[in-house]
Structure 1
């Protein structure tokens, strides 16, 4: 694997890890606001994330109020998508958070992060082996 290929692969894995971290924060926020009247659940729009990673699109964070989401590097890189009322259950108080759905998303997100961690560990193990064993063959 060439150094440019390794660099590109590490960059993609980093972006994937950044996206899973961002999504984890959004899921935690949804769970924390599960009893807040009129709170609209948020998530990442993965189509936009993939397009941004491919360099096809400039992604902009959508915010309705300056205090709703903290300013951070991850927010600027990954778009937030508000769940519309037509997309799922809306309670009488206007809240769109489904705890079951958020817990399922959290588990999926953790699995994705673990897979990315394993991928990066394999790359570094291969690099370590190439460095230590490369001259012995």
Structure 2
């Protein structure tokens, strides 16, 4: 009698620990994907990457400096595909901040453990990297009297 209770309790605890581990793993994967997408979008802002060729389309770049949201969403689904145990992604939203100095990523997903469902939203943001914002290195001038050979 006591052995049945103890074994049942141990099996329940092992199962709950495994389910909690799967849940934590999936949240970590989704948050990591949101962070990577935000950084990826901030590095690409101001350029237009053609989705098929994956090179800068200079004609579209001249016309407007819109960020390729569809390409970032596709990359986000690719980062998450096949890595989740108990969750599924419902939507990936990529947008610019109000002052257009930041890329914001929001990934909405639904976890299912047994018959229970838990919604989760991972958000991340990264500041735009523009080449004008980086400090310029002063040109090095050869020192007087030093022979460059």
Question: Shorter-chain TM-score category?
Answer: 0.3 to 0.5
Larger Rg over CA atoms: 2
Question: If the length of structure 2 is used for normalisation, what is the TM-score?
Answer: 0.36
The structure where strand makes up a greater share of residues is: 2
Question: If the length of structure 1 is used for normalisation, what is the TM-score?
Answer: 0.38
The structure where helix makes up a greater share of residues is: 1
